Chain A
């Protein structure tokens, strides 16, 4: 029992790195994804197909390769671009670059979800809003946005959980600086010390499970708030643990 508790204590700090990567990339990805989904659903043919191509490319290729690609691209631009401008400490830092690539990736996945939601928006509500004389922006604010969010929320929650899982890949591809290790790194290091795969990896897995469940719990609170308009008599839908998207 003692080694188990020790592991929980040792892995507490590394888990913060995973949480950091997720927490830093998700808000950025959310904003970009909403914008991208709107472009994808817009009437502009060029914009729509460009957004579609971006979504397809980033959903169709592994995050592992994306991380490698952007890292090596950043490295090869180092001497000509980053160094002269004094940016190399920032751009090549995994805490920045990892977040950046994760954000690009989650943008594509979330944009697909939001786009799907936009397509199933009830037409009548938008027409009613326009008929009432609401401007385009007002329609978006009052009808499109809340509806889209409600429709997309369960799927988006799954995306967030899987983005959190995908943060493990960052330190498999980018350099590990000193003690800045995430859960998998630290579990691997502990494993190399005493070769106890079952203990260390199980504790790391427990961390992932626990944080995933915490995300679902928080998301459910938000979802209940989003579904506030449904009276207590109506059955309230819940966010279900049904991951569908993976990288």
Chain B
């Protein structure tokens, strides 16, 4: 362990003068300079170095180099996927709960099938399957329009049916697909939560509303659905916690998210001009992500506790 510690101090740091600034600031390979986040020219302020010494200067330079800025920027993918996944999941959850509560029997069976099959299968499987299947479906639809029979025959047994039908997915499209598949998976959980919450609304209140002369529709929308949120909140907060944790899977869909960047940044870094800048540091970067998710969970818990208190005002018996 001691030896490991020793070698983890960047060698560039040791060979003094101007050498290490260059290394600290140009950790990104030349190819990376074209990246939007690259800022190879910026140097930390000199007065900061005067006060805190060169160590701080080194770390500022290291943590502020282009690749690190790209890593910080990639947190947006995680946040966006969580937010849109949650919104879509809420949509699927409301739809699924509607199916579960439908009077028409086949609809009810469809709702049960959705809720139980999605939950009986690992979320990773859906997460990978849905974007693939959707892509293939679109490519098949395009191919029925643009492909000539000869081209299809020539490429038999491979996909897409012909090269014109190929749909290239960029990060944005993958992010959308990832959000939708998160929505489908967690929609199944949400459907159950909402279904339970609808049942938890006190029957007496609904009967009272009916007695006051509200129509069935009014009772449903103005009383049952509105009251339902209070009872659904604990369950929804649970689902949200699951969802933020599964946003770590984005890198499986080629999205350059925080996990992928952590892997890239932590890998042993060798620059021809400076030698080995640092050995394998991946576990440090993963440790940062580990802590990041714990903080995210903590903040969500706090947020939901606050929300529950606010929404629960005036509710006598809570769920």
- The residue on A at minimum CB distance from B281 is A76
Known A-B contacts A197-B136, A209-B120; the reply to A72 vs B266 at CB < 8 A is yes
Contacts of B266 in A (CB 8 A): 72
Instruction: Give complex CA distance A62, B241 in Å.
Output: 10
Instruction: Report if B121 contacts A (CB, 8 A).
Output: yes
Task: Give the number of chain A interface residues (Cβ < 8 Å).
Answer: 45
- The residue on B at minimum CB distance from A59 is B297
Instruction: Give complex CA distance A80, B133 in Å.
Output: 46
- The residue on B at minimum CB distance from A206 is B121
Instruction: Report if A5 contacts B (CB, 8 A).
Output: no
Please count the residue pairs between chain A and chain B whose beta carbons lie under 8 angstroms apart in the complex. Answer: 122
Instruction: Give complex CA distance A34, B66 in Å.
Output: 47
Write the nearest CB–CB distance from A162 to chain B, whole angstroms. 9
Instruction: Give complex CA distance A244, B282 in Å.
Output: 32
Whether A62 lies near B124 (C-beta < 8 A) is no
Neighbour of A80 across the interface among B4, B117, B189, B286, CB < 8 A: B4
Instruction: Report if A184 contacts B (CB, 8 A).
Output: yes
Write the nearest CB–CB distance from B293 to chain A, whole angstroms. 4
Write the nearest CB–CB distance from B202 to chain A, whole angstroms. 23
Contacts of B3 in A (CB 8 A): 80
Instruction: Give complex CA distance A208, B37 in Å.
Output: 42
Instruction: Give complex CA distance A59, B300 in Å.
Output: 13
Whether B294 lies near A168 (C-beta < 8 A) is no
Known A-B contacts A73-B283, A208-B120, A212-B120; the reply to A184 vs B125 at CB < 8 A is yes
Whether B282 lies near A62 (C-beta < 8 A) is no
Contacts of A169 in B (CB 8 A): 124
Contacts of B289 in A (CB 8 A): 61, 65, 69
Q: Which of B91-99, B244-252, B308-316 contacts A (4 or more CB under 8 A)?
A: B244-252
Instruction: Report if A198 contacts B (CB, 8 A).
Output: yes
- The residue on B at minimum CB distance from A208 is B121
Instruction: Give complex CA distance A198, B140 in Å.
Output: 13
Contacts of B287 in A (CB 8 A): 69
Known A-B contacts A195-B158, A209-B121; the reply to A246 vs B242 at CB < 8 A is yes
Instruction: Report if A92 contacts B (CB, 8 A).
Output: no
Whether A56 lies near B294 (C-beta < 8 A) is yes
Instruction: Give complex CA distance A63, B263 in Å.
Output: 16
Contacts of A209 in B (CB 8 A): 117, 120-121
Known A-B contacts A64-B259, A76-B283; the reply to A204 vs B297 at CB < 8 A is no
Q: Sample 11 A-B pairs with CB under 8 A, ordered by A number.
A: A60-B293, A60-B298, A62-B245, A69-B289, A76-B280, A76-B281, A169-B124, A208-B125, A209-B121, A241-B119, A246-B123
Given contacts A60-B297, A72-B266, A73-B283, 12 further A-B contacts (CB under 8 A): A60-B294, A61-B293, A61-B294, A62-B245, A68-B262, A76-B279, A81-B1, A201-B128, A204-B125, A241-B119, A242-B192, A243-B119
Cβ-closest 4 pairs across A and B:
A195-B159, A60-B297, A72-B282, A69-B286
